[in-house]
Structure 1
Amino acid sequence: MTALTIFFCGTGSTKFDDINANYWDGELVSTLASHHLGREFAEWIVVDGPGSGNLQADDLFTKSEEYGLSGTLFGKGWEQNVQHAINIIKGQCDWQREQLTEEEYNRLKAAGIPIEDVKVEGSWFWRKYNYGDRSVTQQALQEQIIKTFRKDGVIPTQVNLVGWSRGGISCHMLANAMFKDSELKNIPVNIFAIDPVPGIGNFQDDKVKLGPNVKEYVGFYARDERSKGFSCVIPQTATGTKTHIYPIPGRHATMAGNATSTGGVPNGAGDLKILVEPGRIVRHFAEVCLKRWGVQLDKSLNLTHADLENLGKAMVDNEAKYRLMHKYSYTYFSELDQGERYVSLGSQGVNFSAVKGAIYAPATGLTTSVLDVDSYQHIR
């Protein structure tokens, strides 16, 4: 039995953000991935977010373009991220980077490995460099890791998905892509989503609805976000899916560990550790859920009931600071919120506090009080 965990970073975020200076204790998704004790590729992968600079392009199991600003604004490239994840699940790439990169070429040369000199092609203005071919591609190496270290066959018996921002929406997209795949549709899927935000014009069914292959859905949502274009998605889940949603004070980036007073706009000097409580709670329960889903993690917070009570009281004491966040926007423009964040319940736009009811546990949904520590019993 192998449980594969896939970590989807948010827009502009990467695998290396566990040491990003904007997050006082590391960006949540990349930090969780770095604490996974299993074998990378066989038991876990982390996927860089749209608009992050394509740092993983040479290692992907499917060919990706460099989308630049369109990745940041519109999420371009996340379809390739999902296909890459599908290929990882199946343990088989559909594309390989067969040529050496400049970095690899220089490393081999410095080590005295006998390889051909770099080839220069084209005119001075349009000059290109060919560094030669790899004898073994990254993809071939990773395929072998998967074949060697996945127990009882290449196809995993369970898939866990963790994502923030467009990474959270990528979790929805991947779960739906798996359900449409005859080879993967019966694999049980668990999702931990942190403020999943698709961006303007990205509310198609594969992003806002989930099929019966998702057995448990846990979502944490930023109560104090007001940026235009940052409506989050509470997906329409299938009958039988255990669905747990929680509100947390703070903004979109606050959920992922940005503890500044403005939620990341801008990050002021000496302001990195003002509002740590929301990020602590979200990280703790991400760890709790992953362990419950069969994942071995290092460096967990292991918060006690008393710790959670103290964090809840601190958030209530800082209520005025959270309300000040409403005047800041990642996109310059703010929503006409009428006192609440506007969200997408499936494909329907509603106010934040309208998301509650018997389909959720707790039934209080996005009206749950941060002081109600017992409400977390459903995901412990």
Structure 2
Amino acid sequence: MSRVFTVYNCGTGFNRTQTDEVVANMASRTSGAENRDWMVTDGVGQAFNTPGTFDPITGKKNVLGHMDERAILVALGSISGWGWEQNERHVWAVISSLISGSSAAPDTINMVGWSRGAITCHMIAHALAKTPQTRHLKVNIFAFDPVPGPGNFKPDKITLATNIHDYSVVQMDNEQRWIMRPMSFDGISESDVHGKYNYHVLPGQHDTGVMRARGAVGMIGAGLAHAFMTRHGTSLRSPLSYTPKEYCNLYAVARLNILKYKKAPTNNRAQQLGGLATHRRGLAPVSTVPKKLVETEYFVNNHHAHMFRKAFPNVYMRLQAGATLTGMASQTLKAAAHMTHTSLVEAGLAA
């Protein structure tokens, strides 16, 4: 039986206490003992347990760990990502210790991270791949909107290591602030990660997909992450498990709010330096949806289309044939999935 160790990497400005954010929330739900079955790294740019203020091996405060310097270190973390190398070394040290000193050493490393925490997952995977005692480990990563930050587009941060077995990424469609430019996934195929590769585009800004309590997109993001981690052996207490119909209703809500998500927060002058207020994300297209439904721009992403086809096969076939959903078929769907029906009406596909 596979022995799994799970790593959670919080995003910039976030830490394990902020459980309204999906990464910290998942860590709080994970079964087993910390540093034996799972661990969490606090994000750079926050003062709860600032990365870089402790020795990554011993955990003791280092020479920079005095409270009078904390504000400077928090600012450095927010601006440059300072401290994430310590998080990388800390995770590597814990995993190496488990391998050398445990009778139940892990053979699989599952990781989930957001923002620079997602980039930290990449850094850790590269570190594990380079070291003889850890290069045999199989790595699975769920990444929320991987953003390195200005000056940090380095190979160990924006490429996927050869030890990655399964990689899923959520990228937010409407975040256009120049400081939030994500790593590029152009040209990455399944062969690049020696296994599965899933790309999910969701509407919203950088944090929309990780804040479950704030709306449907956050609930979709959390559901995708929970499903990925539990599928690979991470034990979560009360894991989220949505049915295809439940996913469709969540996507329907997201689609009905699509114009709200398209309003990019680029008014802050500090984020318009050099005229670089916005960037183009170059998101992967929805490529597996039949053309007639693509032309309606109804589906949010491929996952939405897949869930819709599973939940409502007869409706899917009717719409794919070019018919509008009317009469009894429309009323039946309305009774079974009100939000999905409402979103189809809004898209001109049902009456």
Q: Provide the TM-score with structure 2 as the length reference.
A: 0.72
Match of 2:57 in 1: 61
Report the alpha carbon displacement of residue 182 of structure 1 after superposing the two structures with TM: 0.9
Match of 1:14 in 2: 15
The letter of the residue matching 1:250 is G
Cα distance change on mapping 1:374 and 1:311 into 2, 3 Å: same
Aligned residue among 296, 299, 303 for 1:369: 299
Matched, 1:209 2:205: no
Match of 1:27 in 2: 21
Match of 2:179, SS?
A: coil
Check whether the contact 2:88–2:123 (CA below 8 A) recurs between aligned residues: yes
The letter of the residue matching 1:352 is L
Match of 1:219, SS?
A: strand
Matched, 1:72 2:78: yes
Match of 2:199 in 1: 245
Separation in 1, partners of 2:5, 2:132? 18
Match of 2:110 in 1: 160
Match of 2:347 in 1: none
The letter of the residue matching 2:194 is G
Separation in 2, partners of 1:225, 1:2? 37
Matched, 1:36 2:37: no
Cα distance change on mapping 1:331 and 1:256 into 2, 3 Å: farther
Separation in 1, partners of 2:33, 2:269? 36
Separation in 2, partners of 1:329, 1:38? 44
Match of 1:325, SS?
A: coil
Match of 2:230 in 1: 291
Separation in 1, partners of 2:164, 2:298? 23
Report the alpha carbon displacement of residue 316 of structure 1 after superposing the two structures with TM: 1.3
Report the alpha carbon displacement of residue 157 of structure 1 after superposing the two structures with TM: 0.7
Check whether the contact 1:227–1:331 (CA below 8 A) recurs between aligned residues: no
Match of 1:352 in 2: 283
The aligned runs of 1:227-306 (5 Å cut-off) are 227-235=177-185, 236=188, 238=192, 240-257=194-211, 273=214, 276-306=215-245
Q: Deviations over 1:310-369 (max 9, x none)?
A: 1111111111211223545595338554xxx534xxxxxxx235x6879xxxxx9xx993
Report the number of matched residues: 281
Report the alpha carbon displacement of residue 375 of structure 1 after superposing the two structures with TM: 3.8
Check whether the contact 1:312–1:371 (CA below 8 A) recurs between aligned residues: no
Separation in 2, partners of 1:296, 1:69? 35
Match of 2:5 in 1: 4
Separation in 1, partners of 2:301, 2:119? 28
Q: Deviations over 1:75-98 (max 9, x none)?
A: 001001000000010127xxxxxx
The letter of the residue matching 1:34 is S
Of structures 1 and 2, the one scoring higher in RCO (CA 8 A, sep 6+) is 1
RMSD between aligned residues: 2.9
Separation in 2, partners of 1:58, 1:43? 22
The letter of the residue matching 1:37 is S
Q: Which structure 1 segments of 5+ residues have no match? A: 19-25, 93-142, 260-272, 344-350, 359-363
Separation in 2, partners of 1:36, 1:59? 25
Q: Provide the TM-score with structure 1 as the length reference.
A: 0.67
Cα distance change on mapping 1:181 and 1:331 into 2, 3 Å: farther
Match of 1:68, SS?
A: helix
Check whether the contact 1:191–1:218 (CA below 8 A) recurs between aligned residues: yes
Report the alpha carbon displacement of residue 300 of structure 1 after superposing the two structures with TM: 2.2
Match of 1:137 in 2: none
Cα distance change on mapping 1:322 and 1:328 into 2, 3 Å: farther
The letter of the residue matching 1:242 is K
Separation in 2, partners of 1:156, 1:314? 40
Match of 1:342 in 2: 280
Check whether the contact 1:62–1:80 (CA below 8 A) recurs between aligned residues: no
Match of 2:121 in 1: 171
Report the alpha carbon displacement of residue 290 of structure 1 after superposing the two structures with TM: 0.7
Match of 2:250 in 1: 311
Separation in 1, partners of 2:32, 2:125? 22
Match of 1:70, SS?
A: helix
Report the alpha carbon displacement of residue 229 of structure 1 after superposing the two structures with TM: 1.3
Q: Which structure 2 segments of 5+ residues have no match? A: 65-69, 289-293, 309-351
Separation in 1, partners of 2:211, 2:222? 8
Report the alpha carbon displacement of residue 301 of structure 1 after superposing the two structures with TM: 2.4
Matched, 1:322 2:261: yes
The letter of the residue matching 2:156 is D
Check whether the contact 1:224–1:325 (CA below 8 A) recurs between aligned residues: yes
Separation in 1, partners of 2:163, 2:79? 30
The letter of the residue matching 2:207 is A
The answer to which structure has the higher helix fraction is: 2
Match of 1:229, SS?
A: helix
Cα distance change on mapping 1:311 and 1:54 into 2, 3 Å: closer
Check whether the contact 1:227–1:330 (CA below 8 A) recurs between aligned residues: no
